[in-house]
A and B are shown apart, each in its own frame.
Chain A
Amino acid sequence: MPEIGRLAVCLALLFAAYAVVSSILGGVRRRPDVVRSGEHAAFAVAGLVVVAAAILLRALLQHDFTLEYVAAYSSSSLPTQYTVAALWGGQKGSLLFWAFMLSLFTAIVQIQNRDRNRALMPYVTATLMTIAFFFLALLTFVTDPFERLPVAAREGADLNPLLQNYWMMLHPPSLYTGYVSASVPFAFGIAALASGQLGDQWIRSVRRWALFSWSFLTLGNLLGARWAYEVLGWGGYWAWDPVENAAFMPWLVSTAYLHSVMIQEKKDMLRVWNLVLVLLTFALTIFGTFLTRSGVISSVHSFTQSGLGPFFIGFLLFVLVVSGGLLVYRLPDLRTPATIESFFSREAAFLFNNLILVGIAFAVFWGTVFPVLSEWVRGVKITVGPPFFNRVNAPLGLVLLFFTGVGPVIAWRRASPRNLRRAFTAPVLTALAAAAVLGVAGVPPGFAYLTFVLGCFALGTVGQEFWRGVRARQAMLHESAPRALSRLVGKNRRRYGGYVIHVGVVSAFVAIAASTAFRIEVTQPLKRGEEMQVGKFRLRYERITTAEDAHLSRLAAEVSVWRDGRQIATLAPEKRFYKKPQQPTTEVAMRSTLTEDLYVVLGSYDRDSDLATIQAYVNPLVSWLWLGGIFMACGTIITMWPAAAERRATAFALGGARVPAE
């Protein structure tokens, strides 16, 4: 069976090569039949890669330890859900998973564009299949997931225990989905440049793909943060690790694109800038993969390191040269008359928002690569860790939060003093009231204080927009408030979905500021029955319990939690000792509420003296980070949901009628 998997990958490589050549030839020579042939080859690639992925998954589930990959990343005692996660838990599997998703997305793009965008499609197919070719070539010639061991292993080495967590079932696929789907806007951008179809048709065609990619990058980053929070046990969720940074950078640039593209749609400006952002987002996904695989920068994600770095840096250079070359070639055609009437306009606010987002992305990039630069220039190894990123990004984040409030309500074209008063009086008053309340509540002035105040300003603008919209509908159409709200959102999903996303962003900002500035932590060795105080909580170490199964043994400390003389919870932080590989891990115990998380870790345990070292943290408002994620997901769904007219058009098309081909 694995031989069939290998054959499927090899055939997929050949079909991908054919798809690239025939699509380009068909596009250049205007031969629709040749273009269609390339598209059919792309469908064949999808089918073959699905077969290959299914065979590897089957080998994992059947514990086929004749395969090197199965023996290295699973074991017969690994729970089924983590055996499935082993498909992307190792380098070879994750590359196959990437190719799998890319080929599926390519097939979806082909179906969506069967009768539209025909001038662009040859180059879209060629671009997507070039990327697929790169990954399939790696799988064929460099890192074969179906490699057989000379002698079958009796048992597998198992999946890294840190990856045996339910968030790991979701975090990598989400991030891969975000990364891989960024290929689609990139492919359309390249197609627009190659074909000379530089209007906004390609932008409209990829609007949902760009949002889809952005939303999965958001989800992937947040799920990764949640995994780190639960598994690594250091009380935090973001360590500015190079690989975390690698996932954050494309998110920032993609966010910038989603804002600036609105200016192009409204005013047909910023064609070059939007293309640069789309190309850069994709390049950063490849750069992120390079960082993860190459090991040039030390990272907590060292389990994915390999010798593939040079291949990825080569591919990245190829991407930059080709896309940069095409961009320069088309530069004269991309220039459009640009006019912005005033600095006080939404266009200008979006441009400054873009500047800050790209500026933060650059700061993160710079901090990530600076150790390499330092070693190269001075021959001295240095570390650029959390203090650098926090100090540099905190002021930039505040400016971004300010523009999050300004962007949605400032007028397009030119905001008159009357417009400005009408748009900002209520939000500014909200922010001033928040500043006063926070001052009275004793919140010290600083970054957290400013974040809360600016957050209230941004929420004020969003709240005002909803309030005015609902009131207007009620006045004109005599609707009830809930009906007016649902109609308001339903009739302008993109605008109000965006506002819901902004609420999520503000929520995340507040969570980050509060949990960073006001965290309380206490570490104390306790004997049975002894207590420790953490903020307003009193913790009592009750007893230690042990359990063991074929896969791991557990050591859990039972800790009762008291507040105001009343027991409110019992927590059981654990140490786990995995048998294959022999590795201990920390299992955090948490009592999570909207106001704070009580986060308890069993630091160490001395059996002879029955002394347990308990690390306890009170992390304020961390739940707001995950809540922010939910808001962002809901906002994205609202934004992407097709309008009634689109649904009718889709139903019409599916019913057999075809829009005439271009």
Chain B
Amino acid sequence: MGSALVLVALLLGAPGIAAATATQQELEESLTCQCGCGLTVHSCNHLQCQSGEPMKKEIADRLAAGEDKEKILAAFRGRYGEKILSAPTFHGFNWFAWLTPFAALLLGALGLTRVLHRWTHETPAPVPPVATPVDSALRSRLERELAELDREP
């Protein structure tokens, strides 16, 4: 289970496992604007938004003060709750958010592979012999009509 979590985390570029230096933009994209727009702090430019600009300024100030990403996100989370984060964390129940789509897909792929394996190994029903062989007159008529069809506008 542990190695599966690490694999999914790597695939998703999870913070904490795939470490990276945080930038202003990265932090703004990690936080949801609280004006109700549903966008990240980075994307929100609503004119009546009272939330985005102060948050951008606070991020800039904290980065300038040398705080790292985890500490800055923790500060916002402490103030607004978990809903401030723009994506579920990689902890506890939230793992279900990340793992379920891949688990469902994996199960689907396994099921499909199994079904395909069964279908490819089933013997097809014998094809009954052709009752009436196609005579040459019929064959030439068929070819003539197909050629006519092909010439149609």
Interface string of B64-87 (1 = CB under 8 A from A): 000000000000000001111111
Choose from A343, A352, A370, A382 the contact partner of B120 (Cβ within 8 Å). Answer: A343
B45 and A384 contacting across the interface, CB-CB below 8 Å: no
* A427 located at the interface, meaning its Cβ lies under 8 Å from any Cβ of chain B in the complex: no
A362 and B109 contacting across the interface, CB-CB below 8 Å: no
State how many residues of chain B have any CB contact under 8 Å with chain A: 46
B38 and A343 contacting across the interface, CB-CB below 8 Å: no
* A145 located at the interface, meaning its Cβ lies under 8 Å from any Cβ of chain B in the complex: no
* B126 located at the interface, meaning its Cβ lies under 8 Å from any Cβ of chain A in the complex: no
A351 and B116 contacting across the interface, CB-CB below 8 Å: yes
Q: How far is the CA of A383 from the CA of B29 in the complex (A)?
A: 13
Choose from A235, A355, A367, A385 the contact partner of B38 (Cβ within 8 Å). Answer: A385
Within 8 A of B (CB), among A375-391: 377-378, 380-388, 391
* A6 located at the interface, meaning its Cβ lies under 8 Å from any Cβ of chain B in the complex: no
Within 8 A of A (CB), among B1-44: 11-13, 29-30, 32, 36-40, 43-44
A93-101, A332-340, A460-468 - interface stretch: A332-340
- Residues of chain A with a CB closer than 8 A to B82's CB: 380-382
Choose from B48, B105, B119 the contact partner of A355 (Cβ within 8 Å). Answer: B105
- Residues of chain A with a CB closer than 8 A to B40's CB: 385-387
- Residues of chain A with a CB closer than 8 A to B101's CB: 359, 362-363, 366-367, 392, 396
A274-282, A296-304, A557-565 - interface stretch: A296-304
* B122 located at the interface, meaning its Cβ lies under 8 Å from any Cβ of chain A in the complex: yes
Q: How far is the CA of A30 from the CA of B39 in the complex (A)?
A: 56
Q: How far is the CA of A396 from the CA of B12 in the complex (A)?
A: 12
A341 and B120 contacting across the interface, CB-CB below 8 Å: yes
- Residues of chain A with a CB closer than 8 A to B29's CB: 386-387
* A601 located at the interface, meaning its Cβ lies under 8 Å from any Cβ of chain B in the complex: yes
A391 and B13 contacting across the interface, CB-CB below 8 Å: yes
B100 and A388 contacting across the interface, CB-CB below 8 Å: no
- Residues of chain B with a CB closer than 8 A to A386's CB: 29, 40, 43, 86
Choose from A355, A601, A603, A644 the contact partner of B112 (Cβ within 8 Å). Answer: A355
* A11 located at the interface, meaning its Cβ lies under 8 Å from any Cβ of chain B in the complex: no
A383 and B83 contacting across the interface, CB-CB below 8 Å: yes
Q: How far is the CA of A280 from the CA of B108 in the complex (A)?
A: 17
Most chain-B CB neighbours within 10 Å: which of A234, A381, A583? Answer: A234
- Residues of chain B with a CB closer than 8 A to A378's CB: 93
Nearest Cβ on chain A to B42's Cβ, whole angstroms:
8
Most chain-A CB neighbours within 10 Å: which of B12, B38, B93? Answer: B38
- Residues of chain B with a CB closer than 8 A to A91's CB: none
Within 8 A of B (CB), among A242-285: 242
Q: How far is the CA of A396 from the CA of B81 in the complex (A)?
A: 31
Interface string of B109-145 (1 = CB under 8 A from A): 1001000100110101100000000000000000000
B48 and A584 contacting across the interface, CB-CB below 8 Å: yes
Q: How far is the CA of A363 from the CA of B96 in the complex (A)?
A: 12
A239 and B43 contacting across the interface, CB-CB below 8 Å: yes
- Residues of chain B with a CB closer than 8 A to A358's CB: 108
- Residues of chain A with a CB closer than 8 A to B47's CB: 575, 584-586
- Residues of chain A with a CB closer than 8 A to B86's CB: 383, 385-388
* A444 located at the interface, meaning its Cβ lies under 8 Å from any Cβ of chain B in the complex: no
A340 and B119 contacting across the interface, CB-CB below 8 Å: yes
- Residues of chain A with a CB closer than 8 A to B152's CB: 644
* A323 located at the interface, meaning its Cβ lies under 8 Å from any Cβ of chain B in the complex: no
Choose from B100, B150, B153 the contact partner of A366 (Cβ within 8 Å). Answer: B100
- B residues whose Cβ falls under 8 Å from a Cβ of A: 11-13, 29-30, 32, 36-40, 43-45, 47-48, 81-88, 93-94, 96-98, 100-102, 104-105, 108-109, 112, 116, 119-120, 122, 124-125, 150, 152-153
A370-B88, A381-B82 known; 14 new pairs, CB 8 Å cut-off, are: A241-B38, A300-B38, A338-B119, A339-B119, A343-B120, A351-B116, A362-B104, A384-B97, A385-B38, A386-B29, A387-B87, A392-B101, A396-B105, A586-B47
- A residues whose Cβ falls under 8 Å from a Cβ of B: 232-236, 239, 241-242, 298-300, 302, 337-343, 348, 351-352, 355-356, 358-359, 362-363, 366-367, 370, 373-374, 377-378, 380-388, 391-392, 395-396, 477, 491, 575, 583-586, 601, 603, 615, 644
Q: What would 25 A/B residue contacts be, using CB atoms closer than 8 Å? A: A232-B45, A234-B45, A239-B38, A299-B38, A339-B119, A342-B120, A343-B116, A351-B116, A358-B108, A359-B105, A378-B93, A381-B82, A383-B85, A384-B97, A385-B38, A385-B87, A387-B86, A388-B98, A391-B13, A392-B98, A392-B102, A575-B47, A583-B48, A603-B45, A644-B153
Listed from nearest, the 3 A-B pairs whose CB atoms lie closest are A363-B101, A385-B86, A387-B87
